[in-house]
Structure 1
Amino acid sequence: MFIEQGYKGNLGLWKYWVPILGFSAMMVANYIMTINSPVDTDVMMKSIIDKIGLNAFFILAIGPLVAGFFIILGWVYLVHGQSITSLTTSRKKVDWKRILFAFSLWGGITAVMMLADIMLSPEDYVFNFKPIPFLVLFVMAVVLVPLQTSFEEYMFRGHLMQGLGIMAKNRWVPLIVTSVLFGVMHAANPEVGKIGYGIMVFYIGTGFFLGILTLMDEGLELAIGFHAANNLTAALLVTADWTAFQTNSIYKDVSQPTLGWDIFIPVLVIYPILLLIFSKKYGWTNWKERLTGKVMDKEIFLAQNTEEAHV
């Protein structure tokens, strides 16, 4: 009953829409400025990096989303009157073991796949390891990346999913809407300009995967762990001059960006396998009801919670 946790706050339509509309406006403005800029995005980014360095550029790029983490939690707690625990999970407390399991599983798989590709296609990579800059990056990334990814989870799979579910009185509307919006949010990424809009299949597909994780597990823990591992390994292990993350990573991808099977395999093959692993570990059942079923009425949910509290 993750969506129903939103009943524990002070309901109000505007309270749900202000954060997402504000964030969307920023994304749209950024996209419009990007496509209408007289200066090529690559040239602009290279100029900034040359002036301030990769590590400072990393903070500049990730900083607004890190700030968003504190803003969305502050909004939910102070304005919406909802606890952070109920925004995170339907369990009595946040399950950190779930976060760590998802983080370890996906971080390990991603690292193995990256290293395998480096071994199979060494001509596509340059060893870029510089001890001091990498150490600085490592400290910054370990602190900042989980905040950045958690912001996206709390915004889309937390606040917005609960709000849309309560409004629509079902689960499939918030699953679809949050997944598509999550993908659209990445439309301004430099990867889209280099590879084309076909990469949106990956972004939106990842949104659906994270949404399914959240609804089936009745909480954000697995999505938070997965997302943090995904971005952290990307920032530390392999980056490229045409990706959103440009860092002092261990390797640099120098291959020509193309829309290949590596974009579609995660969505079509790897994500379903991960869902199977998670479902076996956590005993997921009743998939249809959890993904498309109705959301409980407020009175029934609160009465049920009151009864459970007295037991």
Structure 2
Amino acid sequence: MTATHPSAPPTPAPEDDVRVGTPSVAPVPLTYDHLARTAGRRWYVGPAALLALVVTGLLFVFVLGSALDLAAVIAGIPLDADGLPTGPGWSDAAGLVIIAATLPAVLLVVRFVERRAGTLSSVTGRLRGRWLAVCLVPAIAVSALAGLVGELVDPTGSAFAGWSSFLGVAVVALVLTPFQAAAEEYLFRGWIVQTFGAVVRSPWPGVAVSAVLFALIHEGTTASAWGFADLVVFAVALSVVTLLTGGLEAALALHLVHNSVCWIVSAAYATTGSIADYTEVGAGMFVVSALGTVVYVAVVLVLARRRGVETTSVAPPR
């Protein structure tokens, strides 16, 4: 046996034999707008994703639009000069389907071009269903209150269109509006903001570009100054609540309820043709709409803090 001198230092255990000065690897917190900053992302991913989104979106619009046209022809509904079905319900469905067609396009591009899945919904990598349900409560309350006040500020002054006309349009709108609202949220508050966030630190360039584009596709070029401002404020508020809650759920809830209320009211008075008409929006309606949106954002932020909603994700350092 070999004797060990009493003054010799003890032999270190294998787990204690570590390199001195090796830096510890700590997770990096990521906000919602930076979730596209994946380790394998290269400079060309953004342009490639944009091109793929345009091509895929047009393909889905063509396929779904053709299917709707075929259904209309089978049902004996005539088509207009643009090849879209005419008549109440059918023309409204065509508009909603065309917008909703961008939703699968965005999801497919994020999954197969950007090589990520789930992070477009939230920092947890999924759509948080319970949190979405919670946000629907203040969205319904605020939208109903804003609608009542708006009717006092700018009365409709139209007669009820009748149950046969109302029910058909209302059912179509309620079925398709969730997909239409989700398509716009995943594109504007989700993909555009995160695409900018992949290359810049500040979320505001992405928020500004998405807000202006959102206003323009909602006939912002023909809107009044107050109407355009209303669209921009609504878009910016949805981006802010998305960033501060770490996901699209709160924005989805308000957008879904807002659009559903607009469609139901328009169906009741047979004015769905002017549902996106912002040419006559004045200062009074702008104030009512903006205050309602701000109140909703404030309530949601309080609820998110009390419920401990996750606002950041963690990823290893690049």
- What is the TM-score of this pair, normalised by structure 1? 0.70
Instruction: Assess if the C-alpha contact under 8 Å between 1:10 and 1:80 holds in 2.
Output: no
Matched, 1:244 2:275: yes
Name the SS for the 2:159 alignment partner.
strand
Q: Deviations over 1:171-224 (max 9, x none)?
A: 222222222222222235xxx64x524311000111110010111111111001
Name the SS for the 1:7 alignment partner.
coil
Instruction: Assess if the C-alpha contact under 8 Å between 1:20 and 1:155 holds in 2.
Output: no
How far is 1:115 from its partner?
4.3
How far is 1:4 from its partner?
2.6
Q: Using the alignment, how far apart are the partners of 2:219 and 2:57 within structure 1?
A: 12
Matches within 5 A, 1:4-15: 4-8=34-38, 11=41, 12-15=45-48
**Which of 299, 303, 308 is residue 316 of structure 2 equivalent to?**
303
How far is 1:118 from its partner?
4.9
Q: Using the alignment, how far apart are the partners of 1:244 and 1:9 within structure 2?
A: 43
Matched, 1:215 2:243: yes
Judging changes above 3 Å, is the alpha-carbon distance between structure 1 residues 156 and 23 closer, same or farther for their aligned structure 2 residues? farther
Q: Which amino acid aligns with 2:136?
A: F
CA RMSD of aligned residues (A): 3.7
How far is 1:280 from its partner?
1.4
Q: Which of structures 1 and 2 has the bigger CA Rg?
A: 2
Instruction: Assess if the C-alpha contact under 8 Å between 2:190 and 2:248 holds in 1.
Output: yes
Judging changes above 3 Å, is the alpha-carbon distance between structure 1 residues 24 and 124 closer, same or farther for their aligned structure 2 residues? farther
Greater alpha carbon shift after TM alignment, 71-80 vs 132-141: 132-141
Q: Using the alignment, how far apart are the partners of 2:305 and 2:134 within structure 1?
A: 15
**Which of 202, 222, 227 is residue 170 of structure 1 equivalent to?**
202
How far is 1:145 from its partner?
0.7
Matched, 1:110 2:140: no
Instruction: Assess if the C-alpha contact under 8 Å between 2:211 and 2:235 holds in 1.
Output: yes
Instruction: Assess if the C-alpha contact under 8 Å between 1:16 and 1:160 holds in 2.
Output: no
Q: Using the alignment, how far apart are the partners of 1:91 and 1:278 within structure 2?
A: 18
How far is 1:109 from its partner?
2.7
Q: Deviations over 1:71-122 (max 9, x none)?
A: 1112212222221x21100025321122223333222332344345557876
Matched, 1:263 2:263: no
Unmatched 5+ residue regions in structure 1?
A: 26-45, 247-255, 285-289, 306-311
Greater alpha carbon shift after TM alignment, 154-163 vs 2-11: 2-11
**Which of 283, 291, 296 is residue 274 of structure 1 equivalent to?**
296
Judging changes above 3 Å, is the alpha-carbon distance between structure 1 residues 258 and 271 closer, same or farther for their aligned structure 2 residues? closer
Q: Which amino acid aligns with 2:286?
A: I
**Which of 242, 256, 266 is residue 228 of structure 1 equivalent to?**
256
Q: Using the alignment, how far apart are the partners of 2:255 and 2:263 within structure 1?
A: 12
Q: Deviations over 1:210-246 (max 9, x none)?
A: 0101111111110011111111111012363662369
Q: Deviations over 1:35-70 (max 9, x none)?
A: xxxxxxxxxxx999xx82110110122221111112
Instruction: Assess if the C-alpha contact under 8 Å between 1:199 and 1:259 holds in 2.
Output: yes
Name the SS for the 2:132 alignment partner.
helix
Q: Using the alignment, how far apart are the partners of 1:218 and 1:176 within structure 2?
A: 18
Greater alpha carbon shift after TM alignment, 111-120 vs 202-211: 111-120
**Equivalent residue, structure 2, for 1:53:** 87
Instruction: Assess if the C-alpha contact under 8 Å between 2:263 and 2:275 holds in 1.
Output: no
How far is 1:143 from its partner?
2.2
**Which of 156, 159, 162 is residue 129 of structure 1 equivalent to?**
162
Judging changes above 3 Å, is the alpha-carbon distance between structure 1 residues 122 and 67 closer, same or farther for their aligned structure 2 residues? closer
Judging changes above 3 Å, is the alpha-carbon distance between structure 1 residues 223 and 10 closer, same or farther for their aligned structure 2 residues? farther
Judging changes above 3 Å, is the alpha-carbon distance between structure 1 residues 243 and 103 closer, same or farther for their aligned structure 2 residues? farther
**Which of 205, 228, 234 is residue 206 of structure 1 equivalent to?**
234
Q: Deviations over 1:108-155 (max 9, x none)?
A: 33234434555787672322231x443333332222111111111111
How far is 1:166 from its partner?
1.4
Judging changes above 3 Å, is the alpha-carbon distance between structure 1 residues 127 and 113 closer, same or farther for their aligned structure 2 residues? farther
Q: Using the alignment, how far apart are the partners of 1:257 and 1:241 within structure 2?
A: 15
Name the SS for the 1:281 alignment partner.
helix
Unmatched 5+ residue regions in structure 2?
A: 1-30, 59-79
**Equivalent residue, structure 2, for 1:98:** 131
